[in-house]
Amino acid sequence: MNQRLRFFIILFTILTACQGEQLTAVSPQAEPASRPTVLATAVAQPTEIVTAVPPTPQPQPTTTVELATAVVNVSSLPTTNRCLDDNAVAQPLPAARPAGWVYSEAGNLKLWEEGMTTAVTLTTSGDVQYGWRSPDGTLVVFVRTVPQETAELWVVSADGQNERRLATVSLADYLAGAEEYVVDVQLRYSWLPQSHKLVYGLSPTLDALGSLPNEATTIVDADSGSTALLYAGGDVWSTQYSRDGRLAAVVVQDGLRIIDTSTGQVLHDLALPGSGSPDQTFVFSPDGRFLAAFATGGVAIIDTSSGSQTLVPLDYVTIGVGHGSVWPTIQWLPDGRSFLALISDTADVWSNTDVTFTVWQIDVVTQTAVSRHTFTGFPLSARFSANGHYLAFYKIASSQSNARELYMADLESGATMLYDQGQGVEFINWHPNGVNFVYRFGQQRPLLGSICGEPVEIPGPGTDIYQLYWQSNDQYIWYTGQPDNPDDYFNSEGDWTLLRGALNGEITELWRYRGLYPSY
């Protein structure tokens, strides 16, 4: 697996650490093997730090210019009345912070935000490759690493002041006691939602298939420097956080623990037969009151206050074997009192043109599961809209080629609409407004679609579009560029441009630089 592909796999698997108001409350979903990975589904940041010495990029002047205003209709289907629901209403989004990003030039972090004429220099030591802003944008975390020796976690204010070290971890001590198939180790970290707290721990690189339980993981308050051990290493396979960052849920072998993130105290240590997979599906409700988790025999509903749990019987299959298996998808509805589960009707999904899947609705009050609708399509491609009203998925049109049909489904009526079709068509992500979405054909430019409307091509320079992020109902930002060495994406400098687009086809260049890849 090359470094570029590995980077985007990481992006898809850390959505819970992103800015919550722009994300849907779903667990990470596995991608089909043929799916290109140049687009993340929302703002997502790297949680692993590479250990190579950074190159020395050359600064480049920047300007803000209008690039294009044309709307281009591009589709393999003839123009038709693409309208699944003519009563579809876009959900308003909360105010987003101004467009901006953090990037490294010549080993020094810089931050640019809309309205600035020059970028703020955050570090001057020449040894920092990547930074990541806190959920409110006021702090930036970064790591200083001596490869295979030490890793230091640092934070600095967004104005470049008050740089301080939060933690030092020995990589050498870990490697000295590691198994022979462990070839390297990095410091992973992420911001807790809606907080100035960071979660960090070591993440080994294996020269083997499979995975290991998580290493010891600590929470540090970036303001006070106080720490709390979230869990010891050795038995935790996966972690999810409530939207407010107050609670953590971790799966262990045949069990699940709910932890107070402010103290590290285990509030509930629950038996949950069938648990113990890094890919297991378990998701907090929007208000954090409940947790839904698939287990042996069905789906468990857990009250996070009392620790009581109820198993709702529900037959399901996992796709694949062992730690590489794919579990059913869970999508909480906005009221937090019921959730949707998408379950494949067979484990034989690859190149299967007739595979079906069923959407179930589970009510946490009545503790019942009701079958909503069954659809014919590739279950691993299915994505719920944020409001739970619609579903996007593609159907494999031919087992002998990459021909696909992209469908939209109304989960109230069960109605479906063939929205587009062609070689390699793939769904990328839903707009948080629940009505618009992004898809593409292979490596062609992405298209903006609508539950009731024709698709338009995202205009602008180049075809590589990274981290498409919705700022409002009609505006989005993304960056484009090309690393000098695409096969060494982590360590290769390149030319990067931040742009903003609108649903009417207008596009504006905001900022550009030469250096390592950025983060929002």
> Strand 247-252 vs strand 238-241: parallel, antiparallel, or unpaired?
antiparallel
CA–CA distance, 71 with 459 (Å, rounded to integer)? 8
Contact 490, 7 (CB under 8 A): yes
69-100 as b/e: b if 16+ CB within 10 A = eeeeeebeeeeeebebbeebebeebeebeebb
As given in the structure block, the two tokens for residue 99 are 């467009």
Higher per-residue pLDDT: 95 or 191: 191
- Cα torsion angle, 245, 278, 331, 417, sign: positive
Q: Residue 10: pLDDT above 80?
A: no
Q: How do the domains of the chain map onto residue ranges?
A: 3-76+102-515
Contact 99, 482 (CB under 8 A): no
Which residue is listed with tokens 């480049």?
A: 60
Q: Residue 21: pLDDT above 80?
A: no
CATH classification for the domain delimited by 3-76+102-515, as one of 2.140.10, 3.30.70, 1.10.287, 3.30.190: 2.140.10
Q: In what order do the strands lie in the sheet with 65-68?
A: 65-68, 507-515, 494-502, 475-483, 465-470
| DSSP 3-state of 183 | strand
pLDDT of residue 141: 98
179 band by pLDDT with thresholds 50, 70 and 90: confident
Contact 379, 393 (CB under 8 A): yes
CA–CA distance, 336 with 469 (Å, rounded to integer)? 25
166 band by pLDDT with thresholds 50, 70 and 90: very high
Contact 122, 144 (CB under 8 A): no
- Percent of the chain with pLDDT strictly greater than 70: 82
pLDDT of residue 16: 31
Residue 465 is which amino acid? Answer: I
Residue 269 has a CB neighbour count (10 Å cut-off) of: 12
State the number of CA atoms in the 13 A half-sphere of 434 facing the CB: 19
Contact 175, 165 (CB under 8 A): no
Per-residue pLDDT tens digits for 455-504: 988 876 656 677 788 888 888 888 888 788 888 877 788 888 899 988 77
Beta partners for residue 101, in sequence order: 112
- What mean pLDDT comes out for the span 269-291? 89
CA–CA distance, 124 with 110 (Å, rounded to integer)? 10
Which residue is listed with tokens 């002047």?
A: 61
| Residue 233 burial class via C-beta count within 10 angstroms: exposed 0-12, middle 13-18, buried 19 and up | middle
Per-residue pLDDT tens digits for 353-378: 899 999 999 999 999 999 999 999 99
Per-residue pLDDT tens digits for 308-336: 999 999 998 887 655 567 889 999 999 99
Q: Residue 79: pLDDT above 90?
A: no
Lowest mean pLDDT among 62-66, 218-222, 291-295: 62-66
Contact 303, 257 (CB under 8 A): no
80 band by pLDDT with thresholds 50, 70 and 90: low
Phi, psi angle pair for 136, to nearest 5°? -90, 0
Residue 151 is which amino acid? Answer: A
pLDDT of residue 20: 32
DSSP 95-108: PPPPSEEEEEETTE
As given in the structure block, the two tokens for residue 89 are 């209403």
Q: Residue 227: pLDDT above 50?
A: yes
Lowest mean pLDDT among 72-86, 272-286, 481-495: 72-86
Q: Residue 23: pLDDT above 50?
A: no
Higher per-residue pLDDT: 24 or 426: 426
pLDDT of residue 64: 33
- C-alpha distances out from residue 177 to 169, 171, 172, 232, Å: 15, 10, 9, 16
- What mean pLDDT comes out for the span 287-304? 94
Higher per-residue pLDDT: 451 or 29: 451
Which among 407, 388, 477 has a CA at the least distance from the CA of 42? 477
- Percent of the chain with pLDDT strictly greater than 90: 52
266 band by pLDDT with thresholds 50, 70 and 90: very high
Which among 93, 94, 86 has a CA at the least distance from the CA of 450? 86
Q: What is the mean pLDDT of the chain?
A: 81
CA–CA distance, 247 with 225 (Å, rounded to integer)? 20
Q: Residue 305: pLDDT above 50?
A: yes
DSSP 8-state assignment for residue 41: S
DSSP 8-state assignment for residue 389: S
Per-residue pLDDT tens digits for 145-164: 888 899 999 999 999 999 99
Assign residue 39 a region: left if phi > 0, alpha if psi is -120 to 50, beta otherwise? beta
Lowest mean pLDDT among 107-121, 254-268, 433-447: 433-447
Q: Residue 82: pLDDT above 60?
A: yes
